[in-house]
Amino acid sequence: MDCNTLARYLDLYLDGELAAEERGEIETHVRGCEACRRLVQGEARFRAVLRQQLLSVRAPGSLHRQVREHLESRRRFARASWGMPLAYAAAVASVAVLGYAVVATYPKAPDPVAGAVAAHVAASGPEVSGDRQQVDTFLKANAPFSYRLPLQEREGLRLVGARVTRLNGIPAVLYQYDAGGRRFTVAQYPPPTGSGEVSPRLDHRDGYTVATYPDQGLVQTLVGDLPEGEVSRIVPAAWSR
Amino acid sequence: MGTWSFGRRARQRNRFEIEAMPHLDAAYRFALSMTRDAVEADDLVQETFLKALRSFDTYQEGTNCKAWLFRILRNTWINRLRGGSREVMADDAMESIQDAALAGWDDRSFYRSPDEASLLRATRDEIQAALAALPPDFRQAVELSDVEGLSYKEIADVMGTPIGTVMSRLYRGRRLMRRRLSRTLGIEEPGGGVEAGGEVVPLFGERIAGGANHGL
Of A15, A63, A183, the CB nearest to B152: A15
- How big is chain A, counted in residues? 241
Do residue B146 and residue A47 have CB atoms under 8 angstroms apart? Answer: yes
Residue pair B204/B177 in contact (Cβ under 8 Å)? The answer is no
Select the more confidently predicted residue: A201 or A26.
Answer: A26
CB B157 within 8 A of CB B151: no
Q: Which residues in chain A have their CB less than 8 angstroms from residue B9's CB?
A: 74, 78
Farthest CA pair distance, chain A: 76
Separation CA B59–CA B69 (nearest Å): 9
What string of DSSP letters covers A192-216? PTT--S---EEEEETTEEEEEEEET
Residues A89 and A166 in one domain: no
- Are residue B96 and residue B173 in the same domain, yes or no? yes
How does pLDDT run across B122-145, given as a tens digit for each residue?
A: 888 999 999 999 998 999 999 999
Q: Are residues B51 and B147 in the same domain?
A: no
CB contact under 8 A, B6 and A82: yes
Residues of chain A with Cβ-Cβ distance to B174 below 8 Å are: 11
Which residue among B17, B24, B71 sits closest to A64, beta carbon to beta carbon? B24
- Total structural domains in chain B? 2
Asked if residue A25 and residue A100 are part of one domain, the reply reads: no
Contact A31, B123 (CB under 8 A): no
Domain for residue B205, yes or no?
A: no
Query: Pairing state of beta strands A208-215 and A128-129?
Result: unpaired
| Distance to chain A for B146, nearest Cα, Å | 6
Could you tell me how many CB contacts below 8 A there are between chain A and chain B? Answer: 169
Residue at a domain's end among A44, A78, A105: A105
How many angstroms separate the Cα of B195 from the Cα of each of A210, B99, B199?
53, 13, 8
> Across all residues in chain B, what is the average pLDDT?
77
Task: Say whether pLDDT at B27 is over 80.
Answer: yes
CATH number at residue A51: 1.10.10
Residues B67 and B137 both lie in one domain? no
**Taking the CA of residue B153 as centre, how many other CA atoms within 13 Å lie in the half-sphere pointing to its CB?**
5
Question: Cβ atoms within 10 A of the Cβ of A64, count?
Answer: 16
Q: Is the residue at B213 inside a domain?
A: no
How far apart are alpha carbons A147 and A140 in whole angstroms? 8
CB–CB of A54/B143 below 8 Å?
A: yes
Find chain B residues with C-beta within 8 A of A207's C-beta. 48, 51-52, 55, 71-72, 75-76
Within a domain: B22: yes
Of A71, A125, A225, the CB nearest to B79: A225
Query: A82 with A119, same domain?
Result: no
Are B115 and B195 in the same domain? yes
Q: What is the pLDDT of residues A93-114, one digit of tens each?
A: 444 444 443 333 334 456 788 8
End residue of a domain, out of B51, B83, B115: B83
* Å between A133 CA and nearest CA of chain B: 23
Q: Which of B30, B55, B83 is where one domain is finished?
A: B83
Q: Looking at beta carbons, which residues of chain B come within 8 Å of A76?
A: none
Residue with the bigger pLDDT between A13 and B3: it is: A13
Distances (CA, A) of A6 to A17, A23, A40, B167: 14, 10, 9, 16
- If you average pLDDT over residues A144-151, what whole number do you get? 89
Residue B126 belongs to some domain of the structure: yes
CA–CA gap between residue B34 and residue B37 (Å, rounded): 8
pLDDT of residue A117: 86
- pLDDT at residue B104, rounded to an integer: 67
pLDDT value, residue A27: 93
Q: How many domains does the structure of chain A reveal?
A: 3
For residues A222 and A185, is the Cβ–Cβ distance under 8 A?
A: yes
- For residues A138 and A223, is the Cβ–Cβ distance under 8 A? no
**DSSP-based three-state secondary structure for B42:** helix
Mean pLDDT across chain A, nearest whole number?
Answer: 80
Cβ–Cβ of B53/A74 closer than 8 Å?
Answer: yes
pLDDT of residue B194: 39
Tell me the per-residue pLDDT of A44-87, one tens digit each, with 9 for 90 and over: 988 998 998 899 899 999 999 999 888 887 766 554 443 344 44
* Same domain as A212, residue A95: no
Nearest Cβ partner of B55 from A74, A183, A204? Answer: A204
CA distance A210 to A115: 12
Sign of the alpha-carbon dihedral angle for A38, A44, A50, A52: negative
Task: Answer whether B111 sits within 8 Å of A43, measured CB to CB.
Answer: yes
Write out chain A residues lying below 8 Å of B139, CB-based.
Answer: none
Task: Find the CATH number of the domain harbouring A224.
Answer: 3.30.200.100
- Domain with B95, as residue range(s), is 91-199
CA distance B36 to A73: 30
> Which residue of chain B has the CA closest to A72?
B13
Are A38 and A116 contained in the same domain? no
Same-domain check for residues A118 and A213: yes
Residue finishing a domain among A32, A55, A78: A55
Q: What is the ipTM of this complex?
A: 0.76
Distance, CA of A127 to CA of A129 (rounded, Å)? 7
Q: Per mean pLDDT, which range of A140-144, B3-7, B175-179 is the poorest?
A: B3-7
More confident of the two residues A114 and A238: A114
Domain ends where: A78, A105, A132? A105
Asked if B12 and B50 sit in the same domain, the reply is yes
**Whole-angstrom Cα distance, residue A136 to residue A142?**
10
Which CATH number covers residue B122?
1.10.10.10
Residues A139, A215, single domain; the answer is yes
DSSP A161-194: EEEEEEETTEEEEEEEEEETTEEEEEEEEPPPTT
Q: Are residues A188 and A127 in the same domain?
A: yes
d(CA A158, CA A135): 12
Using the beta-carbon criterion (under 8 Å), do B107 and A39 form an inter-chain contact?
yes
Question: CB–CB of A167/A196 below 8 Å?
Answer: no
Q: Which domain holds residue A41?
A: 3-55
Q: How confident is the model at residue A130 (pLDDT cuts 50, 70, 90)?
A: confident
* Bridge partner residues of A204 (DSSP): A209
Check which CATH number belongs to the domain holding B68 and give it.
1.10.1740.10
pLDDT value of residue B167 = 94
Query: How far apart are the two ends of chain A, measured CA to CA in Å?
Result: 68
pLDDT per position as a tens digit, A189-208: 988 777 677 778 888 888 88
The residue that leads in pLDDT, A71 or B98, is A71
Residues in chain A closer than 8 A to B79 (CB atoms): 182-183, 225
